[in-house]
Amino acid sequence: MPVTSVEKDLDNLTITIVADFSAPVTRLWDAYADPRQLERFWGPPTYPATFLRHDAAVGGRSVYKMTGPTGDEHYGCWEWTDVSASASFDIIDWFADETGAPNTALPPTRATFAFEATETGSRLTTTSRFDSLEQLQQLLDMQMLDGTKEAMSQIDAVLADLSAFATDRIAEAQILSDTQVRVARVIRGSVEQVWRAHNDAELMKQWLLGPDGWTMPVCEIATKVGDSYRYMWAPEGGGDGFGFTGELLESEAPYRAVTTEAMIGMDYPAALNELTLTPVEGGTLLSLVITYANSEMRDAVLATGMTTGMETSYARLEDLLGASVSA
């Protein structure tokens, strides 16, 4: 059990939990910054979490659901108010509805997560703050403290699982819900470099090609919210190509962009793409959450080998960044 102390300060309306780990502090930080790792321990064993959104940056949001043993789902969301990489982050943790909107009928928790190196590894000090004694007691009555300690007991196993999140892992798709898929990969490059590679037409034409043998003759980028983009690909030897178009809905450089995506010439509902870039040890975690109209469309797209083409493009991007493309 990594938890070494729990202190309830009723005068200052805080609960402080200290936990020690044998892993380096950067490894512990990445476990919280990477939604693939975080969802392995954020919920207690009987209520595992799935993160549908995770913006580890000031002003960002995270949305998660916890699924119980009978299939019951409970949602929560974070508002990120402060971030100091590898040192600390502050959030407001709300109960939420299935859309991720805060449930203001229940009290939020304002929490600070402080990371520090120790002689034997790292320490995490989590301080939760409440607006009143009634709010603190309400969450204690809901077994928040017991659930938190159970959840944190799972962190050691996640930290030890280096291979599942290594920088040499290829792009992988994880089904999040009936309509959502998350594709994740660590790109060896800075957040700024990877962001630029997604927003510079000349760079995109060099790496966003999918399997070998294709070109990208059309790359019209949406530069501001409300703009449309248009991408077209064609085989090198001639023949029929294909393309996508959509609208830029959100842009928070260099961490997050949200677009719609529809295949040109096909009468299918547009998908929603949420791209998040997060600095981690070894590079940038690229996380793309795709929301489809229904499970049939989700499964049909996955069956095309989408992630194989994405992996080829991301490997090509790493080669491009390794060739000293300036940020």
Q: Could you tell me the pTM of the whole model?
A: 0.92
Question: What is the DSSP code (8-state) at residue 110?
Answer: E
pLDDT of residue 209: 95
CA 115/CA 82 separation, integer angstroms? 14
What is the residue-level pLDDT of the chain in tens, covering all 327 positions? Answer: 588 888 989 889 999 999 999 999 999 999 999 999 999 999 889 999 999 999 999 999 999 999 999 999 999 999 999 999 999 999 999 999 999 999 998 889 999 999 999 999 999 999 999 999 988 888 888 787 888 888 889 999 999 987 778 778 899 999 999 999 999 999 999 999 999 999 999 999 999 998 899 999 999 999 999 999 999 999 998 888 999 999 999 999 999 999 999 999 988 899 999 999 999 999 999 999 999 999 999 999 999 989 999 999 999 999 999 865 444
Within 10 A of 46 (CB to CB), how many other CB atoms are there? 11
pLDDT of residue 81: 98
pLDDT of residue 324: 54
CA 172/CA 181 separation, integer angstroms? 10
Q: Residue 66 in 3-state DSSP?
A: strand
pLDDT of residue 239: 84
pLDDT of residue 121: 95
Which residues touch 49 (CB under 8 Å, ≥6 apart)?
38, 39, 42, 43, 64, 65, 66
- Which value, to the nearest 10 degrees, does the dihedral of the CA atoms of residues 62, 67, 71, 74 take? -60
pLDDT of residue 106: 85
Domains contained in the chain, CATH given: 3-164 (3.30.530.20), 172-322 (3.30.530.20)
Residue with tokens 């603190």: 136
